[in-house]
A = this chain, B = another copy of it.
C-alpha cells in the first residue's frame, strides 16, 4: 500500500516549511503511520495526481486521496481508529476548529510579515516569480512593503500567544496531558517561522517556548528533521 505525503519545499528540497504540511507530518507521526514524502515546489503542485489540488498537504493513502490538513486529520482518525486519536472524541474535533481559526487569525499574518522575504529567498527561481506575483496580488502590497511590518510583528508576537501561555498553567498540551491535533495546528505556525526565519520571537523561559520544544521532541523528534533557518 502506498502512503505518500505531498509537501512543500524550497530550492533545498529537504527544507519543508509549510505550516499546513507540518500539521500533517505530526498527525501521521502521532498515528504511527509510515509514509514517503514527495517534496514539491509551489509551481509543481498542480501537476501531481492528475491536478487533484492547488495546495498541499495532499495525502495519497492507497486508493484514497485527501487534501487539507484538517480533513486529513479527520480522515486518519476515521481510517485508523485503533491508533492514538488525533482529537480525543467528537468534542475535541469540533473545538480544534476553534484553535485552527485562532491560529490562522492571530498568528499566520504575523508569520507572513516576519518571514515573507525569507520564504521568497528559499524558493526555486520559478517559485520566486510565482510567489511574488500571487502574494502581492492577494495582499495588495509588494513583498517588501509587507515585510516592513515584520519588526513590529516580532516585538508583538509573544503577546499574541497569551491564550496558549495562560492555558499552559493548567496542562502541558492543548490536548491535555498529551498532544492532540490542536497542538499540531499551533505547532505548524511556529514551525513555519522556525524553518524560514532567523527571527526569535519567544524568550527561552516563556512557557510557550517550552511547549514548542516539547512538540519538537515528539515522535522521535520529527519536527527537528528540518533544522532552524
List A residues at the B interface (Cβ < 8 Å): 85, 87-102, 104-106, 162-167, 170-171, 173-177, 180, 182
Q: A97, A98, A102, A176: which has the most chain B beta carbons within 10 Å? A: A98
By a CB distance below 8 angstroms, the chain B residues around A95 are 91-92, 95-96, 98-99, 174-175, 180, 182
A22 CB to nearest chain B CB (Å): 19
A103 and chain B: residue at smallest CB distance: B163
Do the beta carbons of A91 and B87 come within 8 Å of each other?
yes
By a CB distance below 8 angstroms, the chain B residues around A171 are 94, 97
A187 CB to nearest chain B CB (Å): 13
A91 CB to nearest chain B CB (Å): 2
By a CB distance below 8 angstroms, the chain B residues around A164 are 98, 101
A167 CB to nearest chain B CB (Å): 4
In the docked arrangement, what's the CA distance between A98 and B101, Å? 12
Contact of A89 (CB < 8 Å), options: B90, B105, B167: B90
